[in-house]
Amino acid sequence: MSERKQIIVAEDVHKWYGKFHVLQGVSLTVNRGEVVVLMGPSGSGKSTFIRTFNALEEYQQGKIEIDGITLSHDLRNIETIRKEVGMVFQQFNLFPHLTVLQNISLAPIWVRRSPKAKAEELAMQLLERVGILEQAQKYPGQLSGGQQQRVAIARALAMQPKIMLFDEPTSALDPEMVREVLDVMRGLARDGMTMVVVTHEVGFAREVADRVILMDSGSLVESATPDAFFSHPKEERTRKFLSQIL
C-alpha cells in the first residue's frame, strides 16, 4: 500500500470557546515530511489550532484527518492519534518525580506495551540523538531548561510518532539555550519528520520551513515559502506583523 501524501488535512475548522469564535474556518493541508511554521500575534489561535491535531482540543465544525483517520469524538481514534502525533510544549511538562530515562520510557511501556528493557534501550538511543545521553539518571529539576526541552522532545519521539507538533518550544528558554533545541529540531526535519512548529524564530523558519503561515484572529492570513513570506509578503497584515518581530 502506498503511503498517502497528505498527512494532515484540516478543512474549514471552526471552534468556539463559549461565544468566542477562536477558529474561524481554518484549512490547512500538510504533506508527509513537510515542515510548516505557524506565526502570528498572541491570542490569534495558534495553540488552539495545532492542539486540535492531536485531539487536545475539540472543534465544533469542519473536518480534520490525520493520516487518513478522521478526528471525531470516537475515543478509539483519539488513542490512535495520540500515538501518531507527538507534541512539545513551551513549558516542558516533564514528570518531576521521574528520572529522565523514566520520563522517556513511561509511555512506550504503558501505552505501546513495550517491554521495559526495549523501551529503555530506545530511550537511550533518543537521548543520544538529542545529545544528553549522560543525563539519563538525573531528575528534570537537575537539568537546564534547554536540556529539559530536549528530554521532552525525546519523550515525544519515544512513541515513534508520524507527526511532531511544537508549540513555542524555545519561548521559555534563556537565549543561550535556544540554539541547542533548534538544532535538535533541525536534525528531525532533516531526517524527514513531518512538523508543525509555532515559533517566532525567524532564522529557523527561513532555514528549515517549507512553508510559513501567518495566523491572525482565528484565520490563516498568508501562506508562502520562507523567502516569499519574509521578503515579499503579499498581505498588509503580514507586513505589519513582520515589522513588529523583525
Q: Which residues bind ligand ADP (CB under 6 A)?
A: 17, 20, 22, 40, 42-48
Minimum distance from residue 95 beta carbon to Mg ion (Å): 23
β-strand partners of 234: none
Rounded Cα–Cα distance for residues 173 and 180 (Å): 10
Rounded Cα–Cα distance for residues 41 and 44 (Å): 6
| 14 in Cβ contact with 23 (< 8 Å) | yes
Residue 44 contact partner, candidates ligand ADP, Mg ion, none, CB within 5 to 8 A by sort of partner: ligand ADP
Minimum distance from residue 198 beta carbon to ligand ADP (Å): 7
Minimum distance from residue 206 beta carbon to ligand ADP (Å): 21
Q: Which is nearer to ligand ADP, 162 or 237 (CB)?
A: 237
Residue recorded with cell 527561513: 206
Rounded Cα–Cα distance for residues 74 and 199 (Å): 31
Residue 64 contact partner, candidates ligand ADP, Mg ion, none, CB within 5 to 8 A by sort of partner: none
Q: Which is nearer to ligand ADP, 40 or 145 (CB)?
A: 40
Residue 110 contact partner, candidates Mg ion, ligand ADP, none, CB within 5 to 8 A by sort of partner: none
Question: Which residue in 197, 221, 219 sits closest to 12, CA to CA?
Answer: 219
Minimum distance from residue 72 beta carbon to ligand ADP (Å): 21
Rounded Cα–Cα distance for residues 134 and 117 (Å): 18
Q: Which is nearer to Mg ion, 198 or 224 (CB)?
A: 198
Residue 15 contact partner, candidates ligand ADP, Mg ion, none, CB within 5 to 8 A by sort of partner: none
Q: Which is nearer to ligand ADP, 17 or 95 (CB)?
A: 17
Q: Which is nearer to Mg ion, 168 or 222 (CB)?
A: 168
Rounded Cα–Cα distance for residues 25 and 165 (Å): 20
Helices (H) then strands (E): counts for the chain: 9, 10
Minimum distance from residue 33 beta carbon to ligand ADP (Å): 25
Question: Which residue in 51, 73, 64, 65 sits closest to 25, CA to CA?
Answer: 64
Q: Which is nearer to ligand ADP, 182 or 220 (CB)?
A: 220
